[in-house]
Amino acid sequence: MNLIAPTFLAALALLVPVLIAFLVRRRRKVMRVPSTMVFRLGAKSVAKSKRIRDIRRLLALLACLLGVGALVFAAARPSGARGDLRVFVVDVSASMSGAPIAEARGWLEREVAAMGPNARVAIVTAGADATVALPPTPSGPLVEEAIKKLTPEKDVASMDEALALAEGLAAAGSQRGTANVIVISDQKIDAETSRSSSSNKPKLVLVGSKSDAKSDNLGVTSLYTRTAPDARDEEEREAVVTVATSSTVTRRARLVIRLANRVVRDRSIEVPASGDITERVGIRGPGKLVAKISPDDGKRDVLGLDDEASLEEITREPPRVLFVRPSPSGGAAAFFVERAIRASGVTDLTIVAPDDPSPPTKVDVAVVLAEGLARPRGVPTLYFGVEPAETGLKARSIDKKETHLRSVASEDSLLRGVAFDEMTTLRAKVATPPKGARSLVDFDGGSALIAGGAGNHAWVWVGIDPEASDLVLRVAFPVLVGNVLTQLGGTSQVVTAKTVPRSEVTLARSEALTTFDPAPAPKWRIPYSPALVIAMVGAFLLALEAYLTFRRKWAS
């Protein structure tokens, strides 16, 4: 045992005034009487003899001194050297929202209170990531605060990582005492995920098992916005919402979508049993986009965390374009392409040579007329006669014998407003669309306009040589370039909301083959603490002395 605040021992000097006060306290006169038999009925206290009375007073003095001494000693905060460590792994996945997390908090508070002040507590949360929410800490306000801060996340539980982290903490803490791991979750955890020896396997606390209608849940599993496939400009966006249910019957739900507090969709939807449904709605303009789902059939919705998803829609700007063209001037092709880019409304245009050593990195779309080191990677790109390896294109050159227009995918949004009628092309490249790509314009010799890829790797390849075709002289060319830039720029601007994973919304449970043993419920007991025990003894002694002194007065 050691003292955390030994300076408090200086207060032992209080014993001197206590002793003096006791000695000078009420020197009462003693009167000898024939018999105390009658007086006894109205007396404060009775001692068998003067000696016993003196002994009792001496004991009272001793009790007072001991009481004061004990309180002073308790103030010096003696503490035990041993500190057992308990690492709690708390599942903070979305399915823990509501009653389970409240139950987990309550269990933790009771358990920590029952462990006593010498034990140390660590908390690891298993959410999207495994995080040490509380490093090994003696019980106290820090622990209470950490417990209060436990909140479910809109994600699945990284239980394996969390367990590994917790077992690492326990192994480090076991040098000072025993250390064990307790998992608090709403589902069984497979014992195989633990790396501990069989004798020190983590214990499991199942929470939320009491809630009825557990399988009935509705939630938003996905919300994102993108440029609408047929968007005429950057402002025309499409919000896509996916709603899923864990119910075994079809659920009717009300879906409300708001943009900047303005309802853009409010309708009742049918969510198939154990399935999902996707809703699309066109939106325009910036603001907070909120999708909220609520039961419309009177049935329960267990989780509240997954009922709402939101994202921030910002004002769409024309894409920032990097134009890679042959140096020095690039010829007529570069001239027409640049004019077409500018005609499509692009204001932020950077023109670089293919061998430019430091091209700008923050671009939304690249237009490549010549291959080189300056061509950015991982950016949607419009290629003119250039076939990088990542597109999978293998082009060949054709002359005017094979440039007769065979078919145009006029329904494709890229070709909206683009007319190829009576187009004359003297020279071009054609290629076979690779897997996942689509041909938009076919010549007799092959596809001359192909779109492929997705997201930041989307691309549009134009095999028509701008210098050997009247396409660049037609209105169709800047329209085509504008459509392509809008589409490619839009694909890089998909905004996705953070939503609860589908497995959490549908409350998917995998039956563990060998689950952890359950942890015993915390028992209520007075937490042992040397300081507390000593203080209680001191207070008891003082209270006893006070009671013995004043009991008659109180009684009367």
Partner 1 sequence: MAAAVTELPDVSTAPREDDLPLLSPQMALRLARLSIVARKIASARRAGRRRTRRVGSGVETIDLRPYDTGDDTRRIAWHAYARLEKLLVRLVADEAPMRLTLVVDQSASMQYGRPSKVRQAARIAAGFAAVALNGEDRVALAVGSVGSTKTHRPVSGRAGLTRLLSMLDRTAAIGATDLPATVRCALDAAGTSASTRGVCVILSDLYEPQGVLAGAREARRRGNDVAIVEVLAPFEIEPPDLSGFDLEDEETGEIIELPEHGMRERYEAALREHRERVDEAARSIDAAIVRTTTAEPFEAIVMRALNAGLLSNSGS
Dihedral of CA 14/20/21/23: which sign? positive
Residue 554 binding partner 1, by CB under 8 A: no
Encoded one letter per residue, x for contact with partner 1 by CB under 8 A and - for no contact, window 19-38 reads: ----x---xxxxxxxxxxxx
Residues 6+ apart with CB under 8 A from 515: 188, 189, 190, 191, 204
- From 1, 7, 16, 43, residue interacting with partner 1 (rule: CB under 8 A): 43
- From 40, 401, 435, 523, residue interacting with partner 1 (rule: CB under 8 A): 40
Closest distance of CB 14 from partner 1, Å: 21
CB atoms within 10 A of CB 3: 16
3-class SS of residue 320: coil
Residue with smaller CB distance to partner 1, 57 or 254: 57
- From 47, 263, 332, 526, residue interacting with partner 1 (rule: CB under 8 A): 47
- Residue 376 DSSP code: P
Residue 42 binding partner 1, by CB under 8 A: yes
3-class SS of residue 302: coil
Which span sits near partner 1 by CB under 8 A: 39-47, 100-108, 196-204, 423-431?
39-47
Residue with smaller CB distance to partner 1, 510 or 556: 556
Residue with smaller CB distance to partner 1, 36 or 248: 36
Closest distance of CB 71 from partner 1, Å: 24
Residue with smaller CB distance to partner 1, 45 or 424: 45
Residue with smaller CB distance to partner 1, 60 or 99: 60
Q: Could you tell me how many residues make up the chain?
A: 556
Residue 59 binding partner 1, by CB under 8 A: no
Residue with smaller CB distance to partner 1, 33 or 81: 33
3-class SS of residue 453: coil
Q: Position of tokens 């864990």?
A: 246
Cα→Cα distances 488→333, 344, 365, 386, 524, Å = 21, 13, 7, 17, 64
Q: What are phi and psi of 501, to 5 degrees?
A: -60, 155
Distance from the Cα of residue 291 to its chain's centroid: 19
Alpha carbon distance 402, 442 (integer Å) = 10
Which span sits near partner 1 by CB under 8 A: 53-61, 136-144, 355-363, 392-400?
53-61
Q: What is the total count of residues that contact partner 1 (CB under 8 A)?
A: 32
**Bridge partners of residue 90, in order along the sequence:** 125, 184
Residues 6+ apart with CB under 8 A from 346: 318, 319, 320, 321, 485
Residue with smaller CB distance to partner 1, 53 or 110: 53
User: Binding residues for partner 1, per CB under 8 A?
Assistant: 23, 27-50, 52-54, 57, 552-553, 556
